[in-house]
Chains A and B, each alone.
Chain A
Amino acid sequence: MRYIDHQKVIKRMSTRMIVNKIFKGIFFVATLFALLALGVLFYRIITQGIGYLSPEFFMNFGSRFPEKAGIKAALIGSLWMMAVVAPVSLLFGVGSAIYLEEYAKKSKINDFIRMNIANLAGVPSVVFGLLGLTIFVRALALGNSILAAGFTMSLLILPVIIVASQEAIRAVPKHLREASYGMGATKWQTIVKIVLPSAIPGILTGGILALSRAIGETAPLVVIGIPVIIQFLPQNFLSQFTAMPMQIFDWAKRPQEEFQYVASAGIIVLMILLLLMNSIAVFIRNKFQKRY
């Protein structure tokens, strides 16, 4: 008794090939559409903004006059904020991930925590803004300072960093840990010498992508009341400041048409910064990636 009738198989072959081609076409168009949208966006922004990208654009503070408006305060302000966000979020994020993956025993409470960290990553950024406003700006009386904004952004990207780090740590093969424990290494020695070196590319890739999100996020800054017109550079972490997305947002909503071009110039700067950070992530991943 034979179940496969080869004559029929050959007859159906051409239909199968057509279906295959149709789906290939659909997926190709989908990809093309995404690329096209991105291309149009890039084209518009670059053609509009390139004229305003001059050395003065980086040297000037914000201004009522489009030709005098610059991104200096916002660029430096964003960098100050990232100087808070990067260490705080990486320290707490990687620390939590190590605890959850290596130390925490399997229990219902820990499973609940794990699940909810993933859920936190989906909470809208405005909500984190409100949290930052309540805790850092008001309760801890940090005002709308770099520190308050940095802490708020850290909270925002913490779940993403924790989840990415957990995955990187989990991907370190169990047999490497066994080999280390088998020689009498303590948990800490195993983490520092075996787990982290293998997990670091994944952790940094996830971390840098999360940091790029923090640098581009606007909503939490609006909620905690970061000003736009700032005519000075921050002196310390308690200074007032403004950040690039805030500055761009402000330019974009001004009535004069020229400010649209200034906004585009600001977006170019922001995008270059983001691309730079993402390339660092890719570079790290390629350089340190290890085979098992």
Chain B
Amino acid sequence: MVQLKVNNKTTDEIVATQAFTDKKLVYDTQQLNLWYGNHHALKNIDLAIKENEVTAIIGPSGCGKSTYIKTLNRMVELVPSVKTSGKILYRERNIFDADYGVEELRTKVGMVFQKPNPFPKSIYDNIAYGPRIHGIKNKKTLDEIVEQSLRGAAIWNEVKDRLNENAYGLSGGQQQRICIARALAIEPDVILMDEPTSALDPISTLKVEELVQDLKKNYSIIIVTHNMQQAARISDQTAFFLNGEVIEFDQTDTIFSTPSDKRTEDYISGRFG
């Protein structure tokens, strides 16, 4: 069982979130619309995401699920010609506010991408990248963060003797867990995962899924997946997206046993998508 140790003041945030037993909202999306040029990709999205839960977003290709998760840390703005309207409240503050810096937001909201994307650097430097850009220089502190993050991502035992080797020498599954460790190293509040297992083999997928279960004790996790069984296995809440709209959002058990919308039922029973 992995338990992150809270041992310095930069982790105050985690302590604060752990102190509350009733689950608060991390994200409250209100009437979000998004356009790529003229293409209306997200339509009137309303979603309330609770802390310390795993929220899965499912739907067929092109339904806007990846766009939505990239909007939560404003990575979608890297695409030119993106326009948005509406609000996304993160911890009660609108992330589209002019004075809300994306850098600040992304320090609290880590992201794991579809394809493992470690830097062409050593394992150590990969994990230390985030803390370093946020100003941590002390070697001992960095050592601790690296160990803690790698343990957090359940990969410490596999790589502890080769921290100075290039991360490209690892297998795809290991690389993805390095990327998760790298996201943990900035001590985020939320971790966004955009189809994190789609490029992995079944055993690596299983490891990442187990990891997600562990991580939700300390983090809120939002995971996009095209794999419905995966959503059913690991998530607490599930949102079903179709053509840029949220068709249904409910407890995962409910979605998979008694969905209220016909389209949700058709999708999860494999009739399309």
Q: Which residues of A are in contact with B by a Cβ distance under 8 Å? A: 105-106, 173, 175-186, 189, 193-194, 197-198, 290-292
* A195–B73 CA distance with the chains assembled, in angstroms: 21
Q: Which residues of B are in contact with A by a Cβ distance under 8 Å? A: 73, 75, 78, 80, 102-107, 110-111, 113, 115, 117-120, 129-130, 133-134, 168, 179, 182-183, 186
* A182–B105 CA distance with the chains assembled, in angstroms: 9
Are B119 and A184 in touch, CB under 8 angstroms? no
Among the listed B78, B104, B168, which residue makes an inter-chain contact with A184, where contact means beta carbons less than 8 Å apart? Answer: B104
Are A186 and B103 in touch, CB under 8 angstroms? yes
**Residues on B with beta carbons closer than 8 Å to the beta carbon of A175:** 113, 115, 117
- Can you pick out 17 interface pairs between chain A and chain B where the beta carbons lie within 8 Å of each other? A106-B80, A175-B117, A176-B120, A178-B75, A178-B78, A179-B113, A179-B118, A180-B133, A181-B75, A182-B75, A182-B113, A183-B182, A183-B183, A186-B133, A197-B120, A290-B120, A291-B120
B77 to chain A: closest CB distance in Å? 10
Contact of A183 with B107 at beta-carbon distance under 8 Å, contacts A175-B113, A189-B133 already known: yes
Are B107 and A292 in touch, CB under 8 angstroms? no
The A/B interface has a contact count, at CB < 8 Å, of: 68
Chain A contact residues, majority secondary structure: helix
Residue ID in chain B nearest A190 by CB atoms: B133
Residue ID in chain A nearest B104 by CB atoms: A184
**Residues on A with beta carbons closer than 8 Å to the beta carbon of B106:** 181-184
Among the listed B103, B133, B134, which residue makes an inter-chain contact with A193, where contact means beta carbons less than 8 Å apart? Answer: B133
**Residues on B with beta carbons closer than 8 Å to the beta carbon of A106:** 80
Residue ID in chain B nearest A186 by CB atoms: B103
Are B130 and A183 in touch, CB under 8 angstroms? yes
Are B129 and A180 in touch, CB under 8 angstroms? yes
Among the listed B117, B129, B182, B183, which residue makes an inter-chain contact with A178, where contact means beta carbons less than 8 Å apart? Answer: B117
**Residues on B with beta carbons closer than 8 Å to the beta carbon of A177:** 78
